[in-house]
């Protein structure tokens, strides 16, 4: 491959590095997850009355109700429970349906579920491998343990001077309902300090600054849920310390959600 071709694909390479870096920086204590089985997808889709859903060998990625991404994982404290998450196509352009369910595998029964949508744009395009579950200990209150679902794009973000890594949504179970309490938290961002944009050709020095966002749970409580601390730490070329000092954000639950729109922008 010639140098120009390498540079044209540079943004894809950078994004892949960021995904791996983020996964290492916020390690999940239960990494055993993978694509959902056809049986799990069928059970959940029947429970939610999703008609004519296509998965496995029947998926074509260009028709409605076609599953294009899925990930399943055992609940850490109860191995009989399985988190089943998948995205499937819709009749609306640049939009995918999202399903997150908790399945009792011993009883072959869906015990809680959520159904929403994922908006796509130039930054985020959902495809195989776009979903990842995070079951670290997000204990937001007595008997309230959240879990995360990360969304990552499957395509290059184009000719850019910077970009975004995966985003995380935190969900909690409330009886038979699963609902998001934190949405769209960036796990990483990156920008060229030298050598941008990503599609530029020719010999040049390339220096990239990456900012990773780490989440921790505080002891203080707002409206019944513990506060979250998000720490932004920057590095240059993923291993050299940035001159920027870490930035700490404090998120307080407002009774419905943790507002996080201002972080990473």
Domain layout of the chain by residue ranges: 3-251
pTM across the whole model: 0.82
Q: Is the pLDDT of residue 60 over 60?
A: no
Q: Is the pLDDT of residue 77 over 60?
A: yes
Winning range, highest mean pLDDT, from 50-59, 90-99, 218-227, 234-243: 218-227
Q: Is the pLDDT of residue 195 over 90?
A: no
Give the model confidence (pLDDT) of 97-115 as tens digits. Answer: 999 999 999 999 999 999 9
Give the model confidence (pLDDT) of 126-150 as tens digits. Answer: 888 899 999 999 999 999 999 999 9
Which distant-in-sequence residues (6+ apart) come within 8 Å of 215 by Cβ?
26, 138, 168, 185, 228, 229, 230
pLDDT of 185: 93
pLDDT of 120: 82
194 sits in which H/E element: strand 188-194
Q: Is the pLDDT of residue 200 over 90?
A: no
Instruction: Point out the least confidently predicted range of 144-158, 172-186, 190-204.
Output: 190-204
Q: Is the pLDDT of residue 30 over 70?
A: no
Q: Is the pLDDT of residue 7 over 50?
A: no
pLDDT of 157: 61
Q: Is the pLDDT of residue 212 over 70?
A: yes
The per-residue pLDDT of the chain, averaged, comes to: 82
Q: How far apart are CA 40 and CA 245, in angstroms?
A: 46
Residues forming beta bridges with residue 109, ordered by sequence position: 104
The answer to whether 196 and 161 are in contact (CB under 8 A) is yes
Mean pLDDT of 240-257: 90
pLDDT of 1: 40
pLDDT of 97: 93
Which distant-in-sequence residues (6+ apart) come within 8 Å of 109 by Cβ?
103
């Amino acid at each position: 491959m010639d140098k120009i071709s390498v540079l044209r694909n540079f943004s894809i390479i950078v994004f892949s590095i960021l995904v791996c870096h983020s996964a290492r920086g916020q390690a999940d204590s239960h990494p055993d997850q993978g694509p959902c089985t056809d049986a799990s997808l069928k059970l959940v889709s029947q429970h939610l009355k999703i008609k004519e859903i296509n998965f496995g060998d029947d998926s074509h990625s260009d028709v409605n109700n076609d599953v294009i991404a899925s990930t399943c994982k055992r609940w850490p404290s109860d191995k009989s429970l399985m988190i089943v998450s998948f995205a499937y196509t819709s009749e609306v352009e640049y939009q995918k349906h999202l399903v997150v369910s908790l399945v009792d595998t011993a009883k072959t029964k869906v015990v809680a579920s959520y159904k929403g949508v994922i908006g796509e744009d130039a930054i985020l395009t959902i495809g195989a491998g776009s979903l990842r579950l995070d079951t670290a200990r997000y204990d937001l209150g007595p008997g309230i343990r959240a879990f995360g679902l990360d969304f990552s794009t499957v395509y290059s973000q184009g000719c850019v001077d910077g970009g975004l890594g995966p985003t995380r949504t935190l969900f909690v179970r409330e009886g038979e309902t699963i609902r998001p309490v934190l949405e769209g938290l960036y796990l990483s961002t990156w920008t060229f300090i030298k050598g941008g944009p990503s599609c530029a050709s020719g010999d040049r020095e390339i220096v990239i600054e990456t900012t990773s966002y780490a989440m921790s749970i505080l002891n203080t409580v707002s409206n019944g849920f513990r506060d979250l601390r998000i720490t932004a730490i920057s590095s240059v070329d993923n291993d050299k310390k940035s001159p920027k000092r870490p930035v700490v954000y404090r998120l307080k639950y407002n009774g419905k959600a943790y507002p996080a729109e201002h972080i990473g922008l």
